Structure 1
Amino acid sequence: MGSKERIQRQKDDNRINILTASLEIVKKEGWQALSMRKIADIIEYTAPMIYEYFANKEAILNELARQGFILLSKQIKIAKESETTLENQLEAMWLSYWDFAFEEKELYQLMFGVGTQCCAQSDDYKMPTAYCTIIVNVIRQIIIERNGNEETVSRKYFTFWSVIHGLISINLVNQGNGEITNQEILKDAISGITQTLSD
């Protein structure tokens, strides 16, 4: 490996360490506790050195959110590929979305600004949409088979998302209704909305 490659590899490693430390702080203390100084303490850098990799804390948040959306898209794609019928794919993808929200709670809060004043969506931030494209394509296949149109596809996607994201938000901010009740509500919502796709 040449010197340029080694330098680049070191830079990549440092960048990963900064992001890993940031998430570690958040999981222990919450988003409000994140600071450049705390990150520097964990990775044993000086705070100014971190600015060589990220212009400010907002840049770190944007990158963490971006990585969260990539991970969410991967999980939804895996869920889709685990089923054969369109309706079962739709259910599997929304259940995977739900699982992601609680397995990666801190990332989900950041990605969608749930229960925190910290939000990655600055003026120049564009939310990645690969995860919803996968879901929308399945909804489209179901609806188009029944002579639907793109307006209906979009409306049905946002109906799904509003209900499921709303239920997730209730549970992240408040304690919700308990796991069994939540699963029943979630599956009822998915099943109910899926049935309307054929109307």
Structure 2
Amino acid sequence: MSAVNERRERERAHRHQLIITAARELAEAEGWEAVTTRRLAERVEYSQPVLYSHFTGKDAIVSAVAIDGFSELAAHLRRARQAAPEQGQTLRAVCRAYLNFAVERPALYQAMFVLHTDLKFASAETPPPLRAAFDEFVSCFRPDSQRRELFAEVTWSALHGMAVLSDSGRILPDGQEERLDFLVTQIADSGASRDD
């Protein structure tokens, strides 16, 4: 590849990331309803056709934001798992980190789990950042367990329900620790967790 082509590719990658960052910032400030191609074009100072040369529309932008979010979530969960204070706390630390992530980054969490995207979960086409985040849950369960992915799915599903219901006011946020304790205890009592 020539130096000119390499420079063009770097500029394209930079524009691509600039659009993703602008969409995320706008969503965090004003909600996803405010994220339109017109507003993004104004914000990044490119024309709408330039935006469409990177993304086919809003769903594609949301998907790109979600992938960035899964990379962040995977790193966040990994740090929590590795910093677990003692044996017996790994699953709890990862679960708490997940719930904190959802509360601290609500617009990002919506892009990852609530809004429509074309991202494929649990398939051969699952993007690596999604799998990396899921694998942090899988790592909390005994390697010799044939059902460790099932336990990870159930844990993630329960946490997602807690996060969404709490965010929407359908369950009270001040009961979150008790719900978390219950979930972790039930999973640990099943003998699936590395923490038992």
TM-score (norm 2): 0.81
Which position in structure 2 is the counterpart of 1:50? Answer: 51
Which position in structure 1 is the counterpart of 2:160? Answer: 165
Number of residue equivalences:
186
| Aligned partners of 1:86 and 1:138 also within 8 Å | no
Q: From 174, 177, 181, give the equivalent of 2:172.
A: 177
Which position in structure 2 is the counterpart of 1:62? Answer: 63
TM-score (norm 1): 0.80
User: 1:136, 1:86 → 2: CA distance?
Assistant: 16
Q: From 128, 131, 138, give the equivalent of 1:129.
A: 131
Instruction: Compute the displacement of 1:175 (Å).
Output: 6.0
Moved over 6 A (4+): none
Query: For structure 2, which runs of at least 5 residues remain unmatched after alignment?
Result: none
| Aligned partners of 2:80 and 2:97 also within 8 Å | yes
Which position in structure 2 is the counterpart of 1:140? Answer: 142
| Residue-by-residue CA offset, 1:46-104 (whole Å, 9 max, x unaligned) | 11111222232222111111111111111111111112655311111111111111111
| Residue-by-residue CA offset, 1:103-161 (whole Å, 9 max, x unaligned) | 11111112111xxxx311367974622111122133133xx3xxxx413x233223322
SS of the residue aligned with 1:150? Answer: coil
Task: Report the residue type matching 1:166 in the other structure.
Answer: G
> What pairs up with 1:1-199 in 2 under 5 angstroms?
3-83=4-84, 85-113=86-114, 118-121=115-118, 126=126, 128-141=130-143, 144=144, 149-151=145-147, 153-174=148-169, 176-179=171-174, 181-197=175-191
User: 1:196, 1:85 → 2: CA distance?
Assistant: 20
Q: Which has the higher contact order (CA 8 A, sep 6+)?
A: 2
| Aligned partners of 2:60 and 2:118 also within 8 Å | no
| Aligned partners of 1:87 and 1:194 also within 8 Å | no
SS of the residue aligned with 1:119? Answer: coil
